[in-house]
Structure 1
Amino acid sequence: MTTTTTFREAFRAGLRESLSGDERVFLMGEDVGRYGGCFAVSQGLLEEFGPERIRDTPLSESAFVGAGIGAALGGMRPIVEIMTVNFSLLALDQILNNAATLLHMSGGQLAVPLVVRIPTGPGRQLAAQHSHTLEGWYAHIPGLRVLAPATPADARGMLAPALADPDPVLIFEQIGLYGTSGELPDDGGPVDITHAAVRRPGTDVTLVGYGGSLPTALAAAEELAADRVAAEVVDLRVLRPLDEATVLDSVRRTHRLVVVDNAWRSGSISAEVAARVAEKGLYDLDAPIERVCGAEVPLPYPRHLEEAALPAVADVVAAARRAIG
């Protein structure tokens, strides 16, 4: 059985289950308590769990991410929310130079079981300074696990295994998906945070997406199906460590690859996926790899320009048709 729910409600359900199941878990960040979260994900949790477990912080990302690292080192299981991904840059020193390195630098003695939730991406007309897709930057950093849930089941189920991971985990929540709805299994629990997932089987071309680009890939596959083209859709889900095996297995079946990425093309996750397939699956390809990415401009504010700067279904369909030839 499944229930139709919004991504916002699915993320909230994951938070509620984690807070209820382990007294070491607490949530902190800007406006997560009394205001209910910048995107209303934590709405109602302050009343349910109290101010010791749902903590509003000062406007200092470096300070409260650092406090989360300290709490994790002290045996707690902190969930830190950074309001949007652009503000995460203010805590990059703590994330890169402390959270990601302490286990290595201590010879395995100091694990940092910290979870950082980061709303990311375009779709809400938040303009150039608040619409970044920077997951690929963080996926570059050894010592982190980087997750990008794109289904309600992952939105709810990724948090529990992330909290159980001895390494710091960043969960990137696509802002444009918060208000959208999807099916959530009634008996769903923790989900795999190691492997990619095939969301739609196919034999003619592989479409790879993650986070906010997955709905575009799925919609393109549906349009291609009307022309009797069977597109397989792979949801990366985990950006570090990248599950290249699932992508390579799909390419062996379809012999063609299109990567869909809302981020800028240069130095992106799409570039990494394309490089790994070229390195390890070149002879399985019957056509050049196609990439459909965000335009390399600061994201515009007007809705029609924001949409024009992002991968469209028609762009993905056209790339798939080029690959098929």
Structure 2
Amino acid sequence: MTVTADTSERNIAYGAAFTEGLAQMMEADPDVFVAGEDVGRAGGVFGSFRGLNDRFGDMRVVDTPISEQAIVGLGTGAAVSGLRPVVDLMFMDFILVAMDQIVNQAAKLKYMFGGKATLPMTITTSAGAGLSAAAQHSQSLEAMLCHIPGLKVVMPSGAYDAKGLLVSCIRDDNPTVFVKHKRLLGLRGGVPEDLYEVPIGSAAVVRPGDDVTIVTYGRMVHEATTAADALASDGIECEVIDLRTLQPLDIGTVIESAQRTNRIMVLHEAVRFGGLGAEIASQIAEEAFDYLDAPIERIGAPFSPVPFSPALEKEWVPNAALIGERVRSLAAA
């Protein structure tokens, strides 16, 4: 179990931390390059690649045609040939166009070559609702990716982890998917200037507590901590676990917490049905059932596309008020 404790006084935005980590890795390793739609002169749809083209040139920050299959195929071929590509798919929704390349090619090549092939490709993308981007540009599809053997999937909730996890992904010799949340790009946090890694497969306890454990990731970490702070005034102390990495899953940290608090809530922004929360709840039930004093609570989005209407979208995404209400019921069970 780890408790995050960044002592850095330097605060920068989540998006800037991502850009800085990528630039420093490109500076340190000439085999690292970027490819994707509008990542060059435009700097990416959310500015995540701003300034890299001026610094590293067209050969290392490559604007591609509008073809997600081609982008991931390019990255797969470059990676298996010895380079370390970072390929960007603007919105997570667009991974569906490239699933054959991701699932049947990138994820399986190492296995099919008996472990002799390495494939150090990082796929970056942006997920989540909250910008009224409608049903085709707002989804959280991480559960699909976590189901695929051969892929590693990370989803940082803050600036420190955004930089550290990106560095770890680029240095990994396996295909990784780095998922940013669009609503977190402006969130500021302490980030060291030097290169550092946040290990893949390690969760963090972002708020200790003894009464209820909330297991979550991405934007929902902040909704959970907001709810937990409010619940503390009622004498309910919640432990909030930020998974950070979704595949491989640090279930050990979750189980250890469940054995202490005896009550568990699993929370994510993605649609509740078939979401990652169901897998986490299942593993908790298998490993820690005798420690539970109440059924495992699951919160996710309704089983519908993400609404375009700002008012409807606000209701669609789980929030601190809903979390607090459900934790109170769980604590009383």
Q: TM-score range by the shorter chain?
A: over 0.9
1:33 is aligned to 40
Aligned structure 1 segments of 4 or more residues deviating by more than 6 angstroms: none
Give me the identity figure in percent.
42
2:200 counterpart of 1:193: yes
Q: Aligned equivalents of 2:280 and 2:195: distance in 1?
A: 29
> Which residue type is aligned with residue 269 of structure 1?
L
1:4 paired residue among 6, 11, 17: 11
Q: Aligned equivalents of 2:195 and 2:326: distance in 1?
A: 35
Q: Aligned equivalents of 2:47 and 2:159: distance in 1?
A: 16
2:292 counterpart of 1:275: no
Q: Aligned equivalents of 1:183 and 1:206: distance in 2?
A: 25
1:284 is aligned to 291
1:120 paired residue among 109, 122, 127: 127
Deviation at residue 241 of structure 1 after TM alignment: 1.0
Equivalence map 1:236-251=2 (5 Å): 236-251=243-258
1:51 is aligned to 58
Deviation at residue 11 of structure 1 after TM alignment: 0.8
2:313 paired residue among 298, 306, 325: 306
Tell me the TM-score normalised to structure 2 length. Answer: 0.95
Tell me the TM-score normalised to structure 1 length. Answer: 0.98
2:146 counterpart of 1:139: yes
Q: What's the CA shift string for 1:193-222, capped at 9, x where partnerless?
A: 121111111101001110121111111111
Q: What's the CA shift string for 1:36-66, capped at 9, x where partnerless?
A: 1000011111101111110000000101110
Q: Aligned equivalents of 1:245 and 1:133: distance in 2?
A: 25
Deviation at residue 183 of structure 1 after TM alignment: 2.8
2:242 paired residue among 235, 246, 255: 235
Q: Aligned equivalents of 1:301 and 1:243: distance in 2?
A: 34
1:316 is aligned to 323
Indicate the SS of the match to 2:98: helix
Point out where structure 1 has 5 or more consecutive residues left out of the alignment.
Answer: none
Moved more, 178-187 or 251-260: 178-187
Deviation at residue 257 of structure 1 after TM alignment: 0.5
- C-alpha contact (below 8 Å) 2:32/2:86 kept by paired residues: yes
2:96 counterpart of 1:89: yes
2:4 is aligned to none
2:110 is aligned to 103
2:304 is aligned to 297
Q: Aligned equivalents of 1:207 and 1:232: distance in 2?
A: 6
Q: Aligned equivalents of 2:194 and 2:100: distance in 1?
A: 39
Q: Aligned equivalents of 1:191 and 1:241: distance in 2?
A: 14
Deviation at residue 185 of structure 1 after TM alignment: 4.0
Deviation at residue 187 of structure 1 after TM alignment: 5.5
- C-alpha contact (below 8 Å) 1:26/1:79 kept by paired residues: yes
Indicate the SS of the match to 2:140: coil
Q: Aligned equivalents of 1:50 and 1:187: distance in 2?
A: 23
- C-alpha contact (below 8 Å) 1:2/1:186 kept by paired residues: no
> Which residue type is aligned with residue 171 of structure 1?
F
Q: Aligned equivalents of 2:44 and 2:55: distance in 1?
A: 14
Indicate the SS of the match to 1:35: coil
Q: Aligned equivalents of 2:163 and 2:135: distance in 1?
A: 29
Deviation at residue 320 of structure 1 after TM alignment: 1.0
1:171 is aligned to 178
Q: Aligned equivalents of 2:298 and 2:179: distance in 1?
A: 22
> Which residue type is aligned with residue 110 of structure 2?
L
Q: What's the CA shift string for 1:264-289, capped at 9, x where partnerless?
A: 11110111111111111111111111
- C-alpha contact (below 8 Å) 1:255/1:286 kept by paired residues: yes
> Which residue type is aligned with residue 181 of structure 1?
R
- C-alpha contact (below 8 Å) 1:151/1:182 kept by paired residues: yes
Q: Aligned equivalents of 2:190 and 2:309: distance in 1?
A: 31
2:155 counterpart of 1:148: yes
2:269 counterpart of 1:262: yes
Q: Aligned equivalents of 2:167 and 2:270: distance in 1?
A: 27
- C-alpha contact (below 8 Å) 1:18/1:159 kept by paired residues: no
